[in-house]
Chain A
């Protein structure tokens, strides 16, 4: 097993890519600390993960043999994050992998100058600052052990612009910048930091993802039409499955990628080729 004896922290683990990652890691022998906001956030126009969904993820992981710790924590809440990380260390003794997966896709769908101050703040605070907060809590521990892998789940929006998604695009570009700078800081200390850039992910019912639906809603498009547009823009003519992203995250988490740091790995069916 590729992650035997390792402990992985996943944020945004209640559903979607976070759940897919947790399942992939538990299959490979990891123990897990699963974090999620488990509740709605002011200014985010769609329902976020729930306690029930997080517990479901945990149950699926235990069935695959993982010891699991769950914690409700908003990545904007430093104190809650600290309590969750401390509990993780007490329970498991170490954190080997951090997957910064928590993120939102809306409020979006407006021209840049129409974005309100609050909309801008909540997008940046969750998607970019949330990752930084987790790194600042887990990083010192990894550095002390001279070992660790941090995977930041960004987006193709971290590499190219999307019309009417300025806040989201800025946050994901920022996350890639955070990845690169932290990778440099941590490289001599044997802690690796990499970014994943998924393309458009299918809203898989098993992991209860809903991103594509929310993007379509932001753009006021029927979901089917919107899906079709994305399929055509990805040269492999298919949407990305959540486990495709989890597979890439697993590789970045494992020792197989031990010389990989500061990299930006696209899982986008070729979307960014042209």
Chain B
């Protein structure tokens, strides 16, 4: 016999009780005067029996008076717990008892009467009247018997899931602990009716949520029919209205009664600011609890204690609000309420939610430590000082090349003279389009020594982008090895070797120059989400400030070895090159083919004993994988993340091998327009485990502010646009005065320059910044606002998934209806269905990706950021055979089994290239001519590894790009 019919058993059991009763009940406690108490419990019990069991309108639910002998005096600390427990004790589910009366008889003779009632049966007025009758009042009560017809759904939001506020800074994965925060109101706080508080809360929410009609729920026990305690209150709090107008509108809405729509508001106000001690015979004082369980996810209540003191109280789960944000909410509501009462003509836009004290604290938070003192000078001057002090120290390593500081300085001096000879003058812009090499470093330094500004370009950029940069920057001289550089007639294009030929045999220092620390050092072009790339002009002094801000904290110095991993066209390289050379370190140039091969790069880190590693998180994920596959840990002591947002959970396997005491990991938020970095957050295992998005405090000398679209500062927790000020703010955009005016602003109060980033962020209560992506990373799908980063975060929570990307695609570009979310993951195993299945548990249906495609690796741009354009077609999309089929498709599996039969290296390679490139392949075809690139080369490597056969080193592929050459090399 098998008795495991659990489902059947569940189906036969009684219905689950409706709502937890606590939200539907309220309670009143009355301290009896000595005279009333002397009557004894019997008198009260008799009235209770008469009230509830007699005939007439008050009959219907016979109730018993409970008495409890409290073993301590009424003033003893333990007595509070007895009272709280009695006030909070719910009425039983499934027993038709709408009221409970309890006498608490304290050891010192004091007596409390506690009446708990179902709000649907007794509203506030009726509860008060009922209690009065128990105490011997003669007037009739409004008590009515509860029947099915008047029994209401007392819980708010039957219409759907209640939204959680996104400004709460709660811990969504932490324990669901109920929290109460209380803000006592000062004695002088204006006395108003309860509705004014609703107006104040509405105005604050409008500010927090960046909307004019915030969803606000109200529980007004004294107003409306007892059956409908919850009404949504539409408040039109646009900036142009006065507080008084908003208040009038809200009152009109309340008077009109509930509009029948179910509220899904997360934040609600309980109007309970009534003094219920009046009219109770024999009452010394009274205490009213408008609810036993808070009726809303965030419940704000105006309370009045036994002595008449008022307080604002916030009840919520620790998952929803942090303590600091709850306290802040109460402060802001109180402040706006005061303004409403004292100056109702104040415009909503002008109603500051904080007082002077908080404003000062906010200002102090966003202003970081002062920049350590340093001598403003040109970058090349500072490097020359190091060269003079330590001429024999190694400055640059690149494969077999080694340059000491002395050699670097002398060679750059000579090339600077050559540039001068070509007519390059102070503040002229010189294009540099070179692969990473020791020579490139010399050239960059030479341009600076010539008093000029370097404009880096990546040799891998397409021709039209190079041509655009050349013409936009007005480059008269470009140094490049690229023979087909689109120079035009006005531009002199020459190789570094040709420049070398023009250089004097010897020279005594750099050519004379009038350019100074405030003159531009470089112009880096950044692409925005719209429009053409724009050149950002950054002065020398900004770079020196950056090093002054970081050198001490990071302990940077002559013992450090840095990598130059990134393209000089990406400003992360500014940090790598000048960060190293301005602190006397040794710079190891990472050749392109090594930067694309995580295994080779990891080997380089070990062989060169690199101590300071700067990476984008996407690129770093590959390194972590290499170590996970068994490589010995690299001896790095500092890892600096930049370039894109970091999900610190990816660092857990790194920390397993590199304890925080041995290697510091710093996540830095930065923008080209503010000189590489703005903030720094040291990431520990604790941050990684909580998936913290904090990018830390601003660097000394930098500062950040988060503001709403009108530029008004926002309180902690509330997301808005990040503004950056201080030592890093760039000069301007080249030739773009209008854009410069829009983005580079001047603070009207302080006269300081600041940059408006277009990035979304929020400040934490301790002043750290959370970076939440681009303001425009929000997409709309079938009317839903979707944060792609939110979906990505859920995918990353899956223990199988190590990297994830989500994009909004249209299978038919002209048809919005074909839009769908496609996810790409790097994962252990290939069970993408389970990844999607798991996501359905955490995301609303419209946010669940339609497809999940497993990739060997995420494709990266030349800057090391995720390259969404090179993501393959989604795995499950109804599409023709994809040219770059993802690894886990049936087609790929078929190809694998066919290839298993191929018995020679050449045949395997032919198969794999065909599979990866999606075109017919011959033995003499050049991999790169067939459309191959570094990502596809990685995929070739992965496919070869999966076949368990010989792999081809990345470098070999670059040196011998045809199958015949590779085979010959292996045979030889």
Interfacial residues, chain A to chain B (CB-CB below 8 A): 5, 31, 62-63, 65, 67, 86-87, 89-94, 140-141, 143-146, 181, 184-185, 187-189
Q: Which stretch from B10-18, B421-429, B442-450, B588-596 is at the chain A interface?
A: B10-18
Evaluate contact between B90 and A94: CB separation under 8 angstroms: yes
A130 to B4 alpha-carbon distance, docked (Å): 26
Evaluate contact between A146 and B10: CB separation under 8 angstroms: no
Return A257 CB to nearest CB of chain B, in Å. 17
A141 to B577 alpha-carbon distance, docked (Å): 72
Return B361 CB to nearest CB of chain A, in Å. 35
Evaluate contact between B14 and A143: CB separation under 8 angstroms: yes
Q: A144-B15, A189-B13 are in contact. Are A86 and B95 (CB under 8 A)?
A: yes
A94 to B97 alpha-carbon distance, docked (Å): 12
A90: chain B residues at CB < 8 Å are: 63-64, 92, 95, 97, 100
In the complex, which of the residues B14, B15, B86 has the most CB atoms of chain A within 10 Å of its own CB atom?
B14
In the complex, which of the residues B4, B13, B94 has the most CB atoms of chain A within 10 Å of its own CB atom?
B13
A141: chain B residues at CB < 8 Å are: 92-94
Binary per-residue interface labels of chain B (1-30) against chain A in the complex, 1 for a CB within 8 Å, 0 otherwise? 001101101100111110001000000000
A87 to B66 alpha-carbon distance, docked (Å): 10
B69 within 8 A of partner (CB): yes
Evaluate contact between B9 and A188: CB separation under 8 angstroms: yes
Chain A residue at smallest Cβ distance from B78? A65
Evaluate contact between A188 and B6: CB separation under 8 angstroms: yes
Can you list 9 contacts pairing A with B, beta carbon distance less than 8 Å?
A: A31-B85, A90-B64, A90-B100, A92-B92, A93-B91, A144-B17, A144-B94, A145-B93, A188-B7
Return B25 CB to nearest CB of chain A, in Å. 9
Q: A62-B71, A141-B94, A185-B9 are in contact. Are A93 and B89 (CB under 8 A)?
A: yes
Which B243-270 residues have C-beta < 8 A from chain A?
none
Classify the interface of chain A: helix, strand, loop or mixed: helix
Q: A90-B95, A94-B93, A144-B93 are in contact. Are A5 and B88 (CB under 8 A)?
A: yes
B85: chain A residues at CB < 8 Å are: 5, 31, 67
Chain A residue at smallest Cβ distance from B100? A90
A89: chain B residues at CB < 8 Å are: 92, 95
Identify which of B4, B14, B89, B100 contacts A144 (C-beta below 8 A). Answer: B14
Return A267 CB to nearest CB of chain B, in Å. 28
B92: chain A residues at CB < 8 Å are: 89-90, 92-94, 141
B747 within 8 A of partner (CB): no
A140: chain B residues at CB < 8 Å are: 14, 94
Which B74-88 residues have C-beta < 8 A from chain A?
78, 81-82, 85-86, 88
A181 to B5 alpha-carbon distance, docked (Å): 12
Evaluate contact between B6 and A187: CB separation under 8 angstroms: yes
A86 to B16 alpha-carbon distance, docked (Å): 19
Which B574-608 residues have C-beta < 8 A from chain A?
none
B68: chain A residues at CB < 8 Å are: 67
A90 to B66 alpha-carbon distance, docked (Å): 9
Known: A92-B89, A187-B6. 13 other contacts (CB 8 A): A5-B85, A65-B82, A67-B68, A67-B86, A89-B95, A90-B92, A91-B100, A94-B93, A144-B14, A144-B93, A145-B17, A184-B3, A188-B7
Chain B residue at smallest Cβ distance from A187? B6
A65 to B79 alpha-carbon distance, docked (Å): 9
Evaluate contact between B3 and A181: CB separation under 8 angstroms: yes
Identify which of B13, B21, B64, B78 contacts A143 (C-beta below 8 A). Answer: B13
B86: chain A residues at CB < 8 Å are: 67
Return A93 CB to nearest CB of chain B, in Å. 4
Chain A residue at smallest Cβ distance from B104? A67
Return A214 CB to nearest CB of chain B, in Å. 33
Q: Which 7 residue pairs across A and B have the least CB separation, nearest first?
A: A89-B92, A93-B90, A144-B17, A188-B10, A93-B92, A188-B6, A93-B89
Classify the interface of chain B: helix, strand, loop or mixed: loop
B10: chain A residues at CB < 8 Å are: 188-189
A94: chain B residues at CB < 8 Å are: 90, 92-93
B90: chain A residues at CB < 8 Å are: 93-94
A127 to B480 alpha-carbon distance, docked (Å): 95
Binary per-residue interface labels of chain B (88-121) against chain A in the complex, 1 for a CB within 8 Å, 0 otherwise? 1111111101001000000000000000000000
Evaluate contact between A144 and B64: CB separation under 8 angstroms: no
A185: chain B residues at CB < 8 Å are: 9
Identify which of A5, A62, A92, A184 contacts B69 (C-beta below 8 A). Answer: A62
B14: chain A residues at CB < 8 Å are: 140, 143-144
A189 to B82 alpha-carbon distance, docked (Å): 31
Chain A residue at smallest Cβ distance from B116? A93
A31 to B86 alpha-carbon distance, docked (Å): 11
A63 to B72 alpha-carbon distance, docked (Å): 9
B17: chain A residues at CB < 8 Å are: 144-145
Return A33 CB to nearest CB of chain B, in Å. 12
Identify which of B4, B82, B94, B100 contacts A67 (C-beta below 8 A). Answer: B82
In the complex, which of the residues B3, B10, B78 has the most CB atoms of chain A within 10 Å of its own CB atom?
B10
B97: chain A residues at CB < 8 Å are: 90
Return B106 CB to nearest CB of chain A, in Å. 12
Chain A residue at smallest Cβ distance from B18? A144
A181: chain B residues at CB < 8 Å are: 3
A65: chain B residues at CB < 8 Å are: 78, 81-82
Evaluate contact between B71 and A63: CB separation under 8 angstroms: yes
A189: chain B residues at CB < 8 Å are: 10, 13
A87: chain B residues at CB < 8 Å are: 64
Chain B residue at smallest Cβ distance from A7? B89
Chain A residue at smallest Cβ distance from B13? A143
A31 to B82 alpha-carbon distance, docked (Å): 11
In the complex, which of the residues A63, A144, A189 has the most CB atoms of chain B within 10 Å of its own CB atom?
A144
Return A47 CB to nearest CB of chain B, in Å. 28
B88: chain A residues at CB < 8 Å are: 5
Binary per-residue interface labels of chain B (676-705) against chain A in the complex, 1 for a CB within 8 Å, 0 otherwise? 000000000000000000000000000000
Return B630 CB to nearest CB of chain A, in Å. 37
A178 to B81 alpha-carbon distance, docked (Å): 38
B6: chain A residues at CB < 8 Å are: 184, 187-188
A270 to B957 alpha-carbon distance, docked (Å): 70
B21: chain A residues at CB < 8 Å are: 93
A172 to B14 alpha-carbon distance, docked (Å): 29
A67: chain B residues at CB < 8 Å are: 68, 82, 85-86
A62: chain B residues at CB < 8 Å are: 69, 71
Evaluate contact between A146 and B16: CB separation under 8 angstroms: yes
B93: chain A residues at CB < 8 Å are: 94, 141, 144-145
A141 to B3 alpha-carbon distance, docked (Å): 24
A65 to B85 alpha-carbon distance, docked (Å): 11
Q: A65-B78, A67-B68, A67-B82 are in contact. Are A144 and B16 (CB under 8 A)?
A: yes
A237 to B494 alpha-carbon distance, docked (Å): 95
In the complex, which of the residues A62, A67, A140, A181 has the most CB atoms of chain B within 10 Å of its own CB atom?
A67
Return B86 CB to nearest CB of chain A, in Å. 8
A189 to B9 alpha-carbon distance, docked (Å): 9
Return B49 CB to nearest CB of chain A, in Å. 14
Which B763-798 residues have C-beta < 8 A from chain A?
none
Chain A residue at smallest Cβ distance from B97? A90
A145 to B17 alpha-carbon distance, docked (Å): 6
A65 to B71 alpha-carbon distance, docked (Å): 8
B7: chain A residues at CB < 8 Å are: 188
A143 to B82 alpha-carbon distance, docked (Å): 28
A188 to B5 alpha-carbon distance, docked (Å): 11
In the complex, which of the residues A63, A146, A185 has the most CB atoms of chain B within 10 Å of its own CB atom?
A185
Chain B residue at smallest Cβ distance from A62? B71
Which B887-917 residues have C-beta < 8 A from chain A?
none
Return B453 CB to nearest CB of chain A, in Å. 66
Return A215 CB to nearest CB of chain B, in Å. 35
Chain B residue at smallest Cβ distance from A185? B9
Chain A residue at smallest Cβ distance from B93? A144
A143: chain B residues at CB < 8 Å are: 13-14
B91: chain A residues at CB < 8 Å are: 93
Chain B residue at smallest Cβ distance from A31? B85
A97 to B880 alpha-carbon distance, docked (Å): 62
A62 to B82 alpha-carbon distance, docked (Å): 11
A146 to B17 alpha-carbon distance, docked (Å): 8
